[in-house]
């Protein structure tokens, strides 16, 4: 395969040169950080009073970690490193609890971010000839404007369709010959279900690729979307604290996501001991942003679980690849004392052809015990009024999940389209157990 690079000299830079670039940029980023009240205090406590106190790349480990809690505490301007008049945009994520975390950008920050996103998009094989329908939320969420700007930078025709309104999405695809879409994987599955339900023929659209991210999904989910729609799906990882999308992305080899190391420093740590882990081992991803002046963030604990691949990528890029994010340190469920990641359940469900495109995990208290229910939509070939195959399917799902997580769930089967869908990040877990137990 002939791989396509946006910035070949940077993307294939030998590691020593890349690390030299990182060191220079880290010094600059520390200089930006030292202008903020928050980091002035944090860094001076660690003996870093000027950018020159960073002498080697290893010195990044002297920088204390930053957490989501810190960002909330610093709201609204505690992390702003430039005069307000120089800020040209903000993005914010509210997460599940109150105070938003707000990230500010100056003009150069936006340009740099856009460059990384363009690099991601071009690396999947897209060119200026593509028509890109951005089916993700615009607004404070970074997925909309971030990918939009990157698409324009590549020279594609960008359709800012936003999320939702599935029927209109098909119209746009047909009218303008969309070749590539961006969405959450759960919305892509929903789009496919509606396409089938509304009889939209695959032949009437020209789709070739999709970028899917903003939420965890399994390799089986990727394969399912690829198989059902007959397209290539590329995993896209990012977070608002590191600008948004464009942090790590799959190339045409589709085997892990290249972290753009000239823009971000990535480390994997043990979330308990906070000690660094060697490449190949799974732990919490910690990221430092080297490319944003207005809101510098260093050694941010993402809570995302991943690992660096150790073997080089077939594409020739030298930037290390992150393994698919399997979940977050804080989305682990403890069910009757057993640790369960929602991704383990998703893997089982999405590998079964009889199962449809949507599911929901429900955890409740029943007396003193926890009760796990997995609600699953059946596939289009299953008839809801035929009890025998339904019972067999229910039992098959129950047994396979039990073999994976050791807990036997209650399995409920639902008609296609019966479970709630979300246009943005899917809410796959409903945990109604009292929090203080």
Cβ distance to ligand DLL smaller for residue 244 or 296: 244
Nearest of 330, 312, 329 to residue 321 by alpha carbon: 312
Whole-number minimum distance, CB 32 to ligand DLL, in Å? 21
User: C-alpha distances in angstroms, 55 versus 26, 27, 42, 405?
Assistant: 10, 8, 18, 47
What's the CA gap between 406 and 221, in Å, rounded? 22
Cβ distance to ligand DLL smaller for residue 330 or 415: 330
Cβ distance to ligand DLL smaller for residue 154 or 378: 154
Cβ distance to ligand DLL smaller for residue 76 or 380: 76
Whole-number minimum distance, CB 69 to ligand DLL, in Å? 15
Cβ distance to ligand DLL smaller for residue 214 or 289: 214
Task: Give the number of other Cβ atoms within 10 Å of residue 392's Cβ.
Answer: 11
* Start-to-end CA span in the chain (Å): 55
Whole-number minimum distance, CB 364 to ligand DLL, in Å? 25
What's the CA gap between 247 and 244, in Å, rounded? 7
Cβ distance to ligand DLL smaller for residue 54 or 104: 104
Nearest of 218, 268, 260 to residue 243 by alpha carbon: 260
What is the residue whose two structure tokens read 């991803």? 285
Whole-number minimum distance, CB 143 to ligand DLL, in Å? 3
Do the strands 369-378 and 333-335 form a parallel or antiparallel pair, or are they unpaired?
A: unpaired
Whole-number minimum distance, CB 391 to ligand DLL, in Å? 34
Cβ distance to ligand DLL smaller for residue 247 or 378: 247
Whole-number minimum distance, CB 387 to ligand DLL, in Å? 38
Cβ distance to ligand DLL smaller for residue 150 or 409: 150
With a CB cutoff of 8 Å and minimum separation 6, the contacts of 237 are: 213, 245, 247, 248, 249, 257, 322, 325
Nearest of 27, 36, 31 to residue 83 by alpha carbon: 36
Per the structure block, which two tokens stand in for 110? 């936006």
Whole-number minimum distance, CB 303 to ligand DLL, in Å? 7
Cα-Cα-Cα-Cα dihedral sign, residues 152, 133, 139, 295: negative
Whole-number minimum distance, CB 91 to ligand DLL, in Å? 9
Q: Where are the beta strands (DSSP E) in 52-186?
A: 89-93, 101-105, 131-134, 157-159, 180-183
Q: Which positions lie near ligand DLL, rule CB under 6 A?
A: 93, 142-143, 213-216, 235-240, 244-245, 302, 304, 325, 328
Whole-number minimum distance, CB 325 to ligand DLL, in Å? 4
* 102, 140 contact by CB (below 8 A): no
Cβ distance to ligand DLL smaller for residue 125 or 244: 244
Sheet with 410-414: list strands edge to edge.
410-414, 369-378, 355-366, 429-431
Query: Helix/strand/coil (H, E, C) string of 124-156?
Result: CCCCCCCEEEECCCCCCCHHHHHHHHHHHHHCC
Whole-number minimum distance, CB 194 to ligand DLL, in Å? 21
Whole-number minimum distance, CB 72 to ligand DLL, in Å? 13
With a CB cutoff of 8 Å and minimum separation 6, the contacts of 43 are: 30, 33, 34, 49, 63, 64
Q: Is 47 left (phi over 0), alpha (psi -120 to 50) or beta?
A: left
Cβ distance to ligand DLL smaller for residue 18 or 103: 103
Cβ distance to ligand DLL smaller for residue 229 or 239: 239
């Amino acid at each position: 395969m002939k791989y396509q690079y946006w910035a070949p000299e940077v993307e294939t830079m030998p590691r020593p040169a890349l690390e030299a670039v990182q060191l220079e940029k880290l010094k600059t980023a520390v200089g930006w950080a030292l202008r903020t009240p928050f980091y002035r205090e944090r860094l001076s406590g660690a003996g870093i009073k000027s950018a020159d106190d960073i002498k080697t790349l290893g010195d990044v480990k002297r920088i204390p970690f930053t957490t989501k809690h810190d960002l909330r505490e610093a709201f609204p301007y505690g992390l702003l490193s430039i005069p307000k008049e120089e800020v040209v945009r903000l993005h914010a994520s509210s997460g599940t609890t109150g105070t938003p975390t707000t990230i500010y950008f100056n003009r150069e920050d936006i340009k740099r971010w856009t460059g990384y996103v363009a690099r991601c998009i071009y690396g999947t094989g897209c060119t200026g000839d593509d028509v890109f329908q951005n089916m993700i939320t615009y607004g404070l969420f970074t997925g909309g404007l971030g990918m939009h700007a990157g698409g324009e930078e590549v020279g594609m025709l960008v359709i800012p369709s936003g999320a939702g309104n599935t029927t209109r999405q098909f119209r746009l695809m047909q009218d303008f010959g969309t070749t590539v879409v961006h969405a959450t994987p759960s919305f892509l599955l929903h789009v496919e279900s509606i396409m089938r339900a509304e009889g939209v023929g695959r032949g009437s659209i020209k789709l070739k690729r999709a970028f899917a991210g903003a939420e965890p999904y399994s390799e089986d989910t990727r394969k399912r979307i690829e198989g059902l729609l007959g397209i290539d799906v590329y995993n896209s990882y990012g977070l608002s604290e590191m600008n948004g999308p464009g942090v790590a992305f799959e190339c045409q080899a589709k085997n892990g996501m290249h972290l753009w190391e000239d823009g971000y420093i990535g480390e994997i740590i043990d979330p308990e001991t906070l000690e660094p882990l060697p490449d190949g081992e799974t732990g919490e991803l910690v990221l430092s942003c080297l490319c944003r002046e207005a809101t510098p963030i260093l050694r941010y604990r993402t809570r995302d679980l991943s690992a660096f691949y150790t073997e080089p990528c077939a594409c020739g890029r030298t930037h290390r690849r992150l393994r698919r994010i399997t979940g977050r340190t804080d989305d682990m469920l403890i069910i009757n004392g057993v640790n369960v990641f929602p991704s383990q359940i998703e893997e089982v469900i999405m590998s079964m052809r009889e199962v449809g495109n949507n599911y929901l995990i429900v955890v409740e208290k029943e007396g003193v015990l926890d009760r796990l229910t997995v609600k699953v939509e059946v596939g289009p070939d299953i008839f809801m009024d035929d009890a025998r195959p339904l019972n067999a399917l229910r039992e098959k799902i129950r047994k396979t999940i039990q073999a994976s997580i050791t807990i036997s769930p209650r399995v409920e089967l639902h008609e296609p389209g019966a479970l709630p869908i979300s246009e943005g990040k899917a809410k796959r877990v409903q945990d109604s157990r009292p929090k203080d137990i």
